């Protein structure tokens, strides 16, 4: 390995740590000095707009996930359940509630109080979650409606009057949000700063797609469940910021180097998999290991699609009309998220199976997320009967360790790989 | 058995029959007629009515249908009403549908829409996005546009034009229905010994599965008969039941509760009573319906509207009904209901209002535990008030 290659391999991991640390330092500082903080979610991001007003941006889904990876989510869940929240609701919500009840104290730092809470209807639980902050802190809550997939029809066409009607509604709401941000921060809206941030997102989105596409290579240079979650985190936290673009350029270069060196994410790639849904973060290492021990690699995940910035293929803001274009892209992203990976994903999944050379799909239903999980058994059935794509459906959770049943999941995973192996052998591959 | 009791019994039989007998009777009387099904909570049924369609509320199957096929299509941690409604369709019991509309009330049902679209290509299934940014200055215009979009689909389905005149006439029919339901609830609030909660419930629920003109006639007769009842007031605590806006508690659960309390108000099937005043019949009917949805309406955990703080609305409901206490219920696995429960109970606690928390599922078949809980709660309050 050359010195240059040694520099690159592993560089992404180091840089991601630095960026996560930097975000936590900013949050912890804001908790002390009172700089206005906006709470937002990973689906339907407002980063470009919020950066104009210099908000610190908190993503509670990310902070919740991090507690689980650290093995500390249960204490927060318990605090929320003691407060009155049911065991049957979203674990992300409860971890965050527990975090707020503990004064924002997190294993990575301290979460500041919200000056503003923003949600979209991409997940109805977002709205209920934001209402908790409203009740707890008395902060304003702004819900942005993104009417998107309605059950039928091709991808939205900007020339369609119905789409234009939706776009005008979203733009009108964004203008109301801008007025609210001005009131909260005392800063005037600067459309040129918005334009700069959107230009940065355009650059980042292009490199993000390059990174995803590199995993079409055999062997795959990254695992979409493991490295993928880091990429998603950075895509959300640093959307609209130069650090985000630079990170993905670095990741792209490292992945290219890994491909050049023949380094797959597992030593001997045998099965290429697609993860529909999320991983289980209380047992993250174990989750990935169950598949990698069979030489199985997640080459793509729907989580990277619907919660990785919502960068529609061909994504690009029109900087000559920033607000109009922001509204348009948010709608397109919502539509893409709903049909590409959530409510009506079968065609998208079938195409991804073809394009990424996937042998089988793992559909992971999590109790915490009915948005992504409700119809997964039906999607598996459709893929099996209509496209002859093998699928494994398992259930656990994102952050609630009580819902992980190791023996049961392992049995199902093992049986799935045995079937995949038999299928490959039968196909003479 | 008197006439009123017979009407109530007929309504109970109607709502407990998963074969939708009133719908099938209507279809027999209207050859070629089309049925629009809609899921909870609220749907502007006037849009379907104006095209000559029969709007029907699809609200689960209770314990009348065994889930056989739906469990293989939907994840296990999803509420019962979503699964049983799908089971009704998979088992052919909703074969009369020409169109199905799912309001975007929660994550489970919106995702389930994809399951319906994949499995029932013979009729369109559509999501209806009600504004969650209800206070936006653009919300009424947006919602009127959503209604116009639906009207176009209804026109395609029926081949009937939906004119402003027809819509105004339909709004008048439903205004009458809402007025009659308000009267029914006034009686329940003011003289609950004349009309039990269970009776009021089945009388209300029948409206969701029968032609509304028939329901209006039925309610008019009921209101005449109720005043003639010789029932006497009993010494019971007065409660508001909150938590029945979507999945419905079993009838026997309501019976157990009313054995110990007067349920003087509730949010059961709130969608049928969502609009709290008459909708204007002059001007643009779609704009009128959209305005009413946003500005002259009740509340539920699945609508975000900063102008209607729900816990405060619950306190108002309690005060208006002269209630002593609240029963704050939620269906198992219902994300919005269970989350709202926390805020409701904390607000009630702060206001010093006694409450009882109950969890239910439409498929429940034993009620001893609920009975003991409610009885103990009621007795403790009677003792305290004494």
In this predicted model, what pLDDT tens digit does every residue of B67-106 receive, in sequence order?
999 999 999 899 999 999 999 999 999 999 999 999 999 9
Angstroms from A170 CA to nearest CA on chain B:
9
Residue B118 to residues A123, A344, B115, B164: CA-CA distances in angstroms?
21, 8, 5, 34
Residues of chain A contacting residue B108, judged by C-beta atoms under 8 Å apart: 370, 374
Tell me whether residues A381 and B76 touch, CB distance under 8 A: no
**Bridge partners, residue A361, by sequence:** A274, A391
Angstroms from A86 CA to nearest CA on chain B:
6
Distance of CA B148 to the CA centre of its chain: 24
Nearest residue of chain A to residue B77 (CA atoms) = A367
* Residue B170 tokens, joined: 């339909």
**Smallest Cβ distance to A89: which of B72, B304, B338?**
B338
Residues of chain B contacting residue A85, judged by C-beta atoms under 8 Å apart: 338-339, 342
pLDDT interval class at A241 (50, 70, 90): very high
Angstroms from B47 CA to nearest CA on chain A:
18
pLDDT single digits (tens) B36-50: 999 999 999 999 999
Mean pLDDT of A86-107: 98
Q: CB of A87 within 8 Å of any CB in chain B? A: no
Q: CB of A160 within 8 Å of any CB in chain B? A: no
Q: Would you tell me which residues 332-361 of chain A have a C-beta closer than 8 angstroms to some C-beta of chain B?
A: 342-346
Q: Give residue A6's pLDDT.
A: 61
Q: Are the CB atoms for A66 and A108 separated by under 8 Å? A: yes
Tell me whether residues A343 and B110 touch, CB distance under 8 A: yes
Tell me whether residues A152 and B126 touch, CB distance under 8 A: yes
Q: Give residue A2's pLDDT.
A: 59
Tell me whether residues B118 and A378 touch, CB distance under 8 A: yes
Q: Would you tell me which residues 371-400 of chain A have a C-beta closer than 8 angstroms to some C-beta of chain B?
A: 371-379, 381-382, 395
Terminal CA-CA length for chain A: 32
Residues of chain B contacting residue A163, judged by C-beta atoms under 8 Å apart: none
For residue B17, count other CB atoms closer than 10 A to its CB.
14
H helix intervals, A109-160: 124-137
SS3 B231: coil
The predicted complex's ipTM stands at 0.96
* Residue A418 tokens, joined: 């045995």
Mean pLDDT of B203-207: 98
Q: Give residue B256's pLDDT.
A: 97
Size of interface A-B (CB pairs under 8 A): 172
Distance CA B106, CA A126 (A): 10
Residue A282 to residues A71, A79, A93, B23: CA-CA distances in angstroms?
6, 17, 15, 50
* Residue B359 tokens, joined: 């969890």
Residue A112 to residues A29, A38, A55, A59, A99: CA-CA distances in angstroms?
8, 9, 11, 11, 11
Residue A210 to residues A171, B30, B58, B204, B259: CA-CA distances in angstroms?
30, 59, 46, 58, 66
Q: A140: buried, middle or exposed (CB in 10 Å: 19+, 13-18, 0-12)?
A: middle
Tell me whether residues B129 and A150 touch, CB distance under 8 A: yes
Distance CA B254, CA B53 (A): 32
Distance CA A63, CA A398 (A): 12
Tell me whether residues B301 and A165 touch, CB distance under 8 A: no
Closest CA to A42 of A246, A323, A234: A234
Q: Give residue A156's pLDDT.
A: 81
**Smallest Cβ distance to B129: which of A88, A142, A145?**
A145
Q: CB of A95 within 8 Å of any CB in chain B? A: no
Q: Give residue A8's pLDDT.
A: 84
Instruction: State the residue for tokens 């799909």.
Output: A361
Residues of chain B contacting residue A164, judged by C-beta atoms under 8 Å apart: none
Mean pLDDT of A256-277: 96
Q: Are the CB atoms for A40 and A59 separated by under 8 Å? A: yes
The percent of residues in chain A predicted with pLDDT above 90, rounded, is 89
* Residue A174 tokens, joined: 């964004």
Distance CA A45, CA A49 (A): 9
The percent of residues in chain A predicted with pLDDT above 70, rounded, is 98
Whether residue B56 is predicted with pLDDT greater than 90 in this model: the reply is yes
Residues of chain A contacting residue B142, judged by C-beta atoms under 8 Å apart: 145, 147, 165, 169
Angstroms from B134 CA to nearest CA on chain A:
9
Residues of chain B contacting residue A375, judged by C-beta atoms under 8 Å apart: 73-75, 111-112, 114-115
Residues of chain B contacting residue A125, judged by C-beta atoms under 8 Å apart: 107, 335-336, 339
Q: Are the CB atoms for A203 and A241 separated by under 8 Å? A: no
Q: Give residue A349's pLDDT.
A: 95
pLDDT single digits (tens) A401-414: 999 999 999 999 99
Q: Give residue A309's pLDDT.
A: 78
pLDDT single digits (tens) B106-155: 999 999 999 999 999 999 999 999 999 999 999 999 999 999 999 999 99
Q: Are the CB atoms for A276 and A376 separated by under 8 Å? A: yes
The percent of residues in chain B predicted with pLDDT above 90, rounded, is 97
Tell me whether residues B341 and A145 touch, CB distance under 8 A: no
Q: Are the CB atoms for A129 and A152 separated by under 8 Å? A: no
pLDDT interval class at B1 (50, 70, 90): confident
**Bridge partners, residue A141, by sequence:** A117
Distance CA A75, CA B95 (A): 49
Angstroms from A362 CA to nearest CA on chain B:
14
Whether residue B3 is predicted with pLDDT greater than 70 in this model: the reply is yes
Q: What is the pTM of this model?
A: 0.96
Tell me whether residues B304 and A141 touch, CB distance under 8 A: yes
pLDDT interval class at A345 (50, 70, 90): very high
Tell me whether residues B336 and A128 touch, CB distance under 8 A: yes
Q: Are the CB atoms for B196 and B305 separated by under 8 Å? A: no
* B97 φ/ψ angles, rounded to the nearest 5 degrees: -70, 135
Distance CA B220, CA B216 (A): 6
**Bridge partners, residue B263, by sequence:** B239
Tell me whether residues A365 and B341 touch, CB distance under 8 A: no
Which residues, at least 6 apart from B277, have a Cβ–Cβ distance to it below 8 Å? B292, B296
Mean pLDDT of A93-111: 98
Q: Give residue A342's pLDDT.
A: 87
* Span of A59-63, A247-251, B171-175, B226-230 with lowest mean pLDDT: B226-230
Q: Are strands A105-106 and A109-110 parallel, antiparallel or unpaired?
A: antiparallel
* Residue B150 tokens, joined: 């639906």
* Residue B320 tokens, joined: 């208006």
The CA R_g of chain B, rounded to the nearest whole Å, is: 20
Mean pLDDT of chain B: 97
Q: Are strands A109-110 and A296-301 parallel, antiparallel or unpaired?
A: unpaired
Distance CA B55, CA B211 (A): 8
* Residue A101 tokens, joined: 């009840």
Mean pLDDT of A190-205: 97
Distance CA A384, CA A382 (A): 5
Residues of chain B contacting residue A152, judged by C-beta atoms under 8 Å apart: 117, 124-126
**Smallest Cβ distance to B104: which of A89, A121, A379?**
A121
Angstroms from B356 CA to nearest CA on chain A:
13
Distance CA B189, CA B176 (A): 20
Tell me whether residues A371 and B107 touch, CB distance under 8 A: yes
Distance CA B203, CA B219 (A): 8
Q: Give residue A67's pLDDT.
A: 98
> Between A246 and A424, where is the model more confident?
A246
Angstroms from A15 CA to nearest CA on chain B:
35
Distance CA A398, CA A303 (A): 12
**Bridge partners, residue B310, by sequence:** none
> Which among A144, A374, A381, A382 is the top mutation candidate for probing chain B, defined by the most B β-carbons within 10 Å of its own β-carbon?
A374
Closest CA to A51 of A201, A243, A194, A192: A194
Q: CB of A405 within 8 Å of any CB in chain B? A: no
Q: Give residue A1's pLDDT.
A: 54
pLDDT single digits (tens) A244-264: 999 999 999 999 999 999 999
Number of H helices, E strands in chain B: 14, 8
pLDDT single digits (tens) A125-139: 999 999 999 999 999
Distance CA B258, CA B264 (A): 10
Closest CA to B45 of B249, B185, B209: B209
Distance CA A148, CA A333 (A): 9
Angstroms from A394 CA to nearest CA on chain B:
10
Q: CB of A75 within 8 Å of any CB in chain B? A: no
Residues of chain A contacting residue B113, judged by C-beta atoms under 8 Å apart: 151, 343
Mean pLDDT of B259-264: 96
**Continuous segment of H or E residues that includes residue A285:** helix A284-292
Q: Give residue A5's pLDDT.
A: 60
Closest CA to A20 of A52, A54, A59: A59
Q: Would you tell me which residues 10-49 of chain A have a C-beta closer than 8 angstroms to some C-beta of chain B?
A: none
Tell me whether residues B127 and A150 touch, CB distance under 8 A: yes
* A111 φ/ψ angles, rounded to the nearest 5 degrees: -85, 125
Angstroms from B25 CA to nearest CA on chain A:
30
Q: Give residue B385's pLDDT.
A: 72
**Smallest Cβ distance to A89: which of B118, B335, B359?**
B335
């Amino acid at each position: 390995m050359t010195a240059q290659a040694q520099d690159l391999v592993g560089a992404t991991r180091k840089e991601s740590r630095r960026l996560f640390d930097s975000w936590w330092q900013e949050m912890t500082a804001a908790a002390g000095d009172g700089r206005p903080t906006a709470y937002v979610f990973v689906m339907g991001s407002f980063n470009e707009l919020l950066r104009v007003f210099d908000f610190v941006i908190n993503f509670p889904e990310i902070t919740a996930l991090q507690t689980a990876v650290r093995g500390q989510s249960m204490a927060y869940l318990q605090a929320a359940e003691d407060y009155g929240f049911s065991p049957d609701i979203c674990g992300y919500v409860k971890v965050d509630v527990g975090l707020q009840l503990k004064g924002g104290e997190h294993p990575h730092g301290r979460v500041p109080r919200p000056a503003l809470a923003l949600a979209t209807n991409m997940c109805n639980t977002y709205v209920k979650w934001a209402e908790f902050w409203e009740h707890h802190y008395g902060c304003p809550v702004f819900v942005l409606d993104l009417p998107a997939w309605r059950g039928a029809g091709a991808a939205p066409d900007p020339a369609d009057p119905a789409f234009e009607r939706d776009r005008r509604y979203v733009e009108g709401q964004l203008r109301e949000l801008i007025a609210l941000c001005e009131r909260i921060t005392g800063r005037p809206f600067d459309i040129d700063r918005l334009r700069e941030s959107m230009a940065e997102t355009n650059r980042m989105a292009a490199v993000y797609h390059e990174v995803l596409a590199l995993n079409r290579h055999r062997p795959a240079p990254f695992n979409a469940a493991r490295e993928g979650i880091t990429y998603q985190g950075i895509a959300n936290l640093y959307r609209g910021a130069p650090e985000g673009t630079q990170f993905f350029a670095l990741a792209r270069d490292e992945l290219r180097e890994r491909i050049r060196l023949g380094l797959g994410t597992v030593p001997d790639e045998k099965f290429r998999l697609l993860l529909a849904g999320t991983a289980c973060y209380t047992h993250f290492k174990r989750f990935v290991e169950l598949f990698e021990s069979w030489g199985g690699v997640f080459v793509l995940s729907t989580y990277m699609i619907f919660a990785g910035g919502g960068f529609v293929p061909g994504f690009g803001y029109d900087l000559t009309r920033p607000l109009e274009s922001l509204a348009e892209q948010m709608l397109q992203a919502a539509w893409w998220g709903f049909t590409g990976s959530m409510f009506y994903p079968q065609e998208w999944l079938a195409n991804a199976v073809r394009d990424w050379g996937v042998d089988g799909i793992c559909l992971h239903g999590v109790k915490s997320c009915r948005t992504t999980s409700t119809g997964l058994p039906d999607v598996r059935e459709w893929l099996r009967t209509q496209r002859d794509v093998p699928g494994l459906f398992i259930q656990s959770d994102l952050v609630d360790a009580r819902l992980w049943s190791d023996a049961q999941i392992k049995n199902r995973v093992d049986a799935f790989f045995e079937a995949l192996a038999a299928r490959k052998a039968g196909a003479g591959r | 058995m008197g006439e009123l009791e017979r009407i109530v019994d007929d309504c109970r039989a109607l709502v407990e029959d998963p074969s939708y007998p009133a719908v099938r009777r209507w279809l027999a009387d209207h050859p070629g007629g089309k049925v629009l099904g809609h899921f909870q909570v609220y749907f502007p049924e006037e849009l379907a009515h104006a095209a000559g369609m029969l709007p029907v509320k699809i609200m689960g199957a209770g314990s009348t249908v065994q889930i056989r096929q739906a469990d293989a299509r939907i994840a296990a941690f999803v509420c019962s009403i979503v699964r049983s409604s799908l089971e009704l369709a998979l088992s052919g019991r909703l074969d009369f549908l020409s169109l199905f509309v799912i309001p975007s009330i929660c994550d489970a049902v919106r995702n389930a829409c994809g399951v319906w679209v994949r499995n029932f290509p013979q009729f369109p299934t559509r999501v209806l996005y009600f504004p969650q940014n209800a206070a936006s200055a653009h919300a009424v215009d947006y919602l009127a546009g959503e209604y116009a979009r639906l009207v176009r689909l209804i026109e395609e389905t029926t081949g009937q034009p939906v004119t402003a005149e027809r819509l105004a006439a339909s709004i008048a029919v439903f205004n009458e229905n809402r007025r009659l339901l308000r009267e029914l609830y006034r009686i329940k609030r003011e003289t609950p010994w004349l009309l039990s909660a269970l009776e009021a419930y089945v009388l209300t629920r029948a409206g969701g599965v029968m032609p509304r003109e028939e329901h209006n006639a039925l309610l008019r007769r009921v209101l005449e008969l109720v005043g003639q009842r010789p029932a006497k007031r009993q010494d019971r605590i007065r409660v508001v039941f909150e938590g029945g806006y979507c999945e419905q508690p079993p009838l026997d659960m309501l019976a157990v509760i009313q054995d110990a309390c007067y349920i003087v108000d509730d949010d059961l099937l709130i969608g049928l009573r969502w609009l709290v005043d008459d909708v204007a019949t002059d001007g643009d009917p779609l704009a009128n319906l959209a305005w009413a949805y946003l500005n002259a309406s009740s509340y539920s955990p699945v609508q975000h509207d900063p102008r209607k703080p729900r816990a405060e609305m619950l306190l108002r409901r309690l005060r208006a009904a002269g209630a002593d206490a609240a029963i704050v219920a939620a269906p198992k696995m219902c994300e919005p209901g269970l989350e709202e429960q926390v805020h409701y109970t904390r607000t009630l606690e702060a206001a010093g209002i006694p409450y009882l928390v109950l969890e239910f599922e439409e498929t429940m078949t034993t009620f001893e535990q609920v009975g003991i809980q409610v009885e103990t709660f009621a007795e403790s309050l009677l003792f305290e008030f004494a």
